[in-house]
Amino acid sequence: MQHLCHPNCSHQRPGMSRRDFLTTATLAAAALTLPQVRGQAPAPAPTDVAPGAGLPTHPLIDIHMHQSPDNLRGSGGPANTKGKKGGSAARTEAEFLTHQKNINAVGGVLLGGNDYEFELIKKTPYQFVRFASAGMVGGGREAVIEKALKNGAKGIGEHRYEGDIPFTKACLDMAKEYDVPILYHFQEALFPLGVYADFYKLIEKYPTVKFIGHAIDWWGAIDKNYSSKGGTYPRGRVTAGGLTDTWLGRYPNLYADLSATSGNTGLLRDPDFAKDFVNRHQDKIMFGSDCPCTTGSVASCWSVIKLVALNQLQLSAAVQQKIYISNAAKLLKLKIA
């Protein structure tokens, strides 16, 4: 059962400082409330961390958030916003800004933000870009995406990789034509046509398109022994030579998104491997949250767990600068140092 934090969540106790939340005890509690997705659960938050271990060390660009504009909430919201019954669809724009402020975000991507009007873009000094997406099914998806691109969206996504089908080709043709990145969610167990092992063919076919990879198969396949048929979160030591790792080394137009519990599991399951992986692909990896909570400061927040995971890798200042901010700034053409 998925537990998402909201304003009256028991994780939030009046009188406690933010730092107090991020203690060993609360992180241990968070481990019990992480979502369970089909089989093996994501790696739990580490329990042996010092207070403050989940605090941001660096200003960051968050390349993976979903947020409905306030003027569409309650009307069913945009079809492409995840978590329609809660999570990011229930969160207000103000709560979103609080979340992002607490993780020290100075910019970010609103996936599926399309050409919607967001008060937060007008109200905040942070820099946001909107990506275009068009939900899962139904006709006219290409037109929805193209309209958003014409109206200023700076990327395409998030889309599930559905395989080498006409819609995929249409999206990639638009990414090429508009010169924008495209962000994919890989989960073959749910989308059997989207065979992960074959995805490299599209990376090769579109060498000028910048692909950003995310989700369960992407992170599972850092391990050579991963099977995308299982669609689960493998844990424990990584066997080197996985497809994701190989492709990141091989293709200059492929980038990695650290978001969600899949990214957290990739970082937490084998910290030695994770440190090496992040260092080797330091020009390709970007911070992303995908967190639906309202605070950005409770121990169960996916962003906070990710910061715990990254902080424990003790990355160099130069690598932190790249993965938190400059890789994304370059890719998104944002003027943030």
Amino acid at position 43, single letter: A
How many other C-beta atoms lie within 10 A of the C-beta of residue 92?
A: 16
Least Å distance, CB 132 to Zn ion, is 14
**Of 148, 174, 293, 329, which one interacts with Zn ion (CB under 5 A)?**
293
By CB under 5 A, is residue 95 in contact with Zn ion? no
Closest CA to 31 of 330, 309, 274, 305: 305
By CB under 5 A, is residue 93 in contact with Zn ion? no
CA 37-274-266 angle, to 5 degrees, is 10
Buried/exposed 33-43: b ≥16 CB within 10 Å, e otherwise? bbeebeeebbb
Question: How far apart are the C-alpha atoms of 268 and 44, rounded to whole Å?
Answer: 8
Applying CB under 5 A, the site for Zn ion has a residue count of 7
Least Å distance, CB 116 to Zn ion, is 16
Least Å distance, CB 224 to Zn ion, is 26
| C-beta of 294 vs 320, nearer to Zn ion | 294
| C-beta of 20 vs 204, nearer to Zn ion | 20
By CB under 5 A, is residue 291 in contact with Zn ion? yes
Q: With contacts defined by CB under 5 A, name the span among 34-42, 50-58, 125-133, 300-308 that binds Zn ion.
A: 300-308
Least Å distance, CB 295 to Zn ion, is 6
Least Å distance, CB 97 to Zn ion, is 13
Least Å distance, CB 103 to Zn ion, is 8
**Of 97, 112, 290, 312, which one interacts with Zn ion (CB under 5 A)?**
290
What are the backbone dihedrals phi and psi of residue 286, each rounded to the nearest 5 degrees, phi first?
-135, 140
Question: Is residue 69 within 8 Å of 290, Cβ to Cβ?
Answer: no
| β-bridge mates for residue 212, sequence order | 183, 255
Least Å distance, CB 279 to Zn ion, is 26
Q: CA 80 → CA 14, 88, 98, 261, 283, distances in Å?
A: 35, 11, 23, 20, 30
Amino acid at position 155, single letter: G
| β-bridge mates for residue 61, sequence order | 107
The binding track of 228-257 with respect to Zn ion, each residue x by CB under 5 A or -, is: ------------------------------
Q: CA 97 → CA 40, 101, 118, 121, 131, distances in Å?
A: 32, 6, 12, 10, 18
Question: How far apart are the C-alpha atoms of 99 and 118, rounded to whole Å?
Answer: 16
| C-beta of 232 vs 289, nearer to Zn ion | 289
- What is the footprint of Zn ion within residues 38-57 (CB under 5 A)? none
By CB under 5 A, is residue 301 in contact with Zn ion? yes
By CB under 5 A, is residue 62 in contact with Zn ion? no
The binding track of 151-170 with respect to Zn ion, each residue x by CB under 5 A or -, is: -------x------------
Q: Output the six-digit token pair for 287.
A: 């911070």
Write out the residues near Zn ion by the rule CB under 5 A.
158, 290-291, 293, 296, 301, 303
